[in-house]
A and B are shown apart, each in its own frame.
Chain A
Amino acid sequence: MADKKKDIANIVSDYKYGFQTEAKTIYQTPKGISEAIVRDISRIKSEPAWMTEIRVEAYKSFMTIANPNWGPDLSFIDFADIIYYLKASDHVGATWDDVPEAIKDTFAKLGIPETEQKYLAGLTSQFDSEAVYHNTLAELTDRGVIFLDTDSALREFPELFKTYFTKAVGYRDNKYAALNTAVWSGGSFIYVPKGVKVDKPLQSYFRINTEKMGQFERTLIIVEDGASLNYVEGCTAPIYSSDSLHAAVVEIFVKDNAYCRYSTVQNWSNNIVNLVTKRAVVGNYGHMEWIDGNIGSGLNMKYPSCILRGDYARGTTISIAFAGRGQHQDTGAKMIHIGRNTASTIISKSIATKGGKVNYRGLVSQASSALGARSKVQCDTILIDGESASDTLPVNIVKNFKGQIEHEATVSKVSEEQLFYLMSRGLSEAEATELIVMGFIEPFSRELPMEYAVELNQLIKLEMTGAIG
């Protein structure tokens, strides 16, 4: 256990400065986007024709859909200045030995090989646009679980893939979902068959390693009737001087009586614009949980959603957002109640310091069919200093007479009395503030796997450094 903590401390101490590995690029598209480039990406990947057509249709949607007319201004994004596809390695390694040295080096800095054996049941690490390492424990394969990078899944299970792809997040949904569908590459694909319970967390790390390269991974998760899955996605990125766009799509299908938990701690470097569409469709008595941490990126817009379609379906989102200097976190959650007696809970914890801006933006909607639906929303914000800002922007809609929504929101400052108390025990102002913040996010961090919680605390500590005085 102590070693594990050390590993994570090492990851974090390297991370602080960001690091970039010299990776040999095998293939990349020219800057900018066009139908030809979209077709090219599909061709290079030897995709079936239907996928090429979806990409092209999605590209057309992308060109016609405007940026959102709400929230942060996105007009600065120059789509012509982005590389949409880049391949760093030309094959997916079956074993660690097959992975190129420079890429291994990056992963070593992230501590992946060490943690894998001990903690993970399986692992997909994404390096630039293509998965370069993939390994699923035999035990899971024997039980019919599929855990692949998304490109391999399309090749190996085209029919399964086609059944679900774009069915939770259509390419007309929003501009960035359209963009992702047009140029997607990499991501994780997980299929858990009926009744199979994956007890250990499945985990994957993602990294962006090329300046000006958008990362458009696509994740597709299907948890069949009575099955359960606990999936952990990790994101880290080196620090660069110019903007990179990250627009991912995550689609999850939680069938009847199934359970899925999806945990992320997103820590992109501050030059990254992160625009992610995450949505789960939940069946009868199913339960979806989003554990969503947002520490990094300069501008982040992310509102994990649950469509509670089945009766008694449940949705839970527990999230934190941390905004430091120059950061704008616009995050929240959506719960769409359709089935009867559906229930949702949103717990959001926001922290702003050094002039950062953190908004909670959420939607709870109970349709006329959602008789007996219940929702609970709790948004707490802590402002570390006077220059930081926060807004809470909830929308609650109930279209039937039997629904119920509770909403609580608090905004507080670190109080003089709390600081006095902690400092009177010998903690410096910075240590005291850090402890108060750690306590504030505890309802989130306790939901994370142990080594992730440690990493999260380390990241927050790093972000807090210099926040005082």
Chain B
Amino acid sequence: MAILEIRNLVASIEGQRILNGVDLVVRGGETHAIMGPNGTGKSTLAAIVMGHPRYRIEAGDILLDGESILDLKVDQRSRKGLFLAMQNPIEVPGVTNFDFVKTAVSARLQADEHLRIGKFILRFEAAAKALNMGEGLSHRFLNQGFSGGEKKRNEILQMSLINPKIAFLDEIDSGLDVDALKLVGEYVTNMKSPELGLILITHYERLLDYLTADHVHIMIKGRIVKSGGAELIRKIDTEGYDWLKAELGIDELEEQKIQYSLGSCAAKTLSPGDKL
């Protein structure tokens, strides 16, 4: 059983701090939901755990099965069992969806192992069918010309064939209509097992109608400010996040300050005598 431990993680991008000390432990078999307003660092957290090179880790650690993964590259983390279903999957022209998934699955085989292609085709087709992805999916170029919903379903398809130990699903619900949401929710629910730890990132509760989470975390300003069970989802659904800000004494001042400092740079005008 896998265990992902995020310890007091502080991270920044281009000098701007995004994570201010995140602590989170996810074990195989658990499903966590991270919720919170826009721009509070939820997607960043997922990207950093996956190893996105643009972010700088300033403090803290990330451990998978007790070992730090901070020195590992993105692909090494993936092969250790981490997965990230992305909010905006990238289009890769000229590379068929099937070839890509096949390459991804082959990448985690041992040196003496070979992908059994017949079996793999059957798995691919079964997953595509279950996700209602239509004919011709395998021959289409990776995410190119895919609708928003198709891209999201394609992420789930990849996840089910790659079979990770810990998977972040970053706003997998956006772009999905109600029927597709139900389908994806149920499909991922079927994937749940003691071998798979899930972290759902969302700011809507509707995904959680079809894919239940047993741990819920609220993230605000780069911190997990509250953790609990499913009851938190209902409270946010009815009351939003304002009660939490009040309860925790987070005011808007800090946010304004950041905006001001950004604004002052961008809005700076030249006066006579300014040196260029």
Binding site for B on A (CB under 8 A): 415-429, 431-432, 435-436, 438-443
Contact = CB atoms under 8 A, between A and B. Distances in A.
Contacts of A440: 93-94
A435 B107 contact: no
B104 A427 contact: yes
A416 B74 CA distance: 12
B93 A427 contact: no
Given A421-B90, A439-B95, A426 B100 contact: no
A412 to B, nearest CB: 11
A436 B92 contact: yes
A431 B94 contact: no
A247 B50 CA distance: 52
Contact of A435 (B103, B108, B162): B103
Contacts of A425: 78, 100-101, 103-104, 107, 158, 162
Contacts of B90: 415, 417-418, 420-422
B162 A443 contact: no
B89 interface: yes
Given A423-B75, A427-B104, A429-B73, A436 B95 contact: yes
Given A431-B103, A439-B141, 5 more contacts: A417-B90, A431-B107, A432-B75, A436-B92, A442-B95
B92 A420 contact: no
A429 B47 CA distance: 17
A428 B83 CA distance: 15
A415 B86 CA distance: 16
Contact of B50 (A424, A427, A431): A424
B74 A424 contact: yes
A438 B53 contact: no
B79 interface: yes
B268 interface: no
B84 interface: yes
Interface in B32-90: 47, 50-54, 73-75, 77-79, 83-84, 86, 89-90
A416 B234 CA distance: 38
Nearest to B106: A426
Interface of B: 47, 50-54, 73-75, 77-79, 83-84, 86, 89-90, 92-95, 99-101, 103-104, 107-108, 141-142, 158, 162
A426 B74 CA distance: 8
A424 B78 contact: yes
**Residue of A416, A423, A438, A442 with most partner-chain B CB within 10 A:** A423
28 contacts: A418-B92, A420-B52, A420-B53, A421-B89, A422-B92, A423-B51, A423-B73, A423-B75, A424-B50, A424-B51, A424-B83, A425-B103, A426-B78, A426-B79, A426-B107, A426-B108, A426-B162, A427-B75, A428-B75, A431-B103, A435-B92, A435-B100, A435-B103, A436-B92, A440-B93, A442-B93, A442-B95, A442-B141
Nearest to A446: B94
The 4 closest A-B pairs by CB, nearest first: A439-B94, A442-B94, A425-B104, A439-B95
**Residue of B51, B95, B101 with most partner-chain A CB within 10 A:** B95
A427 B73 contact: no
Given A416-B53, A417-B90, A431-B107, A423 B95 contact: no
A416 B13 CA distance: 15
Contact of B75 (A416, A429, A436, A441): A429
A426 B106 CA distance: 9
Contacts of A418: 90, 92
B75 A426 contact: yes
A432 B99 CA distance: 12
A442 B100 CA distance: 14
Contacts of B104: 425-427
A436 B92 CA distance: 7
Contacts of A424: 50-51, 74-75, 77-78, 83-84, 86
A469 to B, nearest CB: 11
Nearest to B168: A424
B184 to A, nearest CB: 19
A167 to B, nearest CB: 39
Contacts of B77: 424
Contacts of A419: 74
Contacts of B99: 435
Contacts of A422: 90, 92, 100
Given A416-B53, A420-B53, A428 B94 contact: no
Contacts of A428: 73, 75, 107
A277 B97 CA distance: 39
A420 B73 CA distance: 10
A432 B76 CA distance: 13
B103 A423 contact: no
Contacts of A435: 92, 95, 99-100, 103
A438 B94 CA distance: 7
B94 A420 contact: no
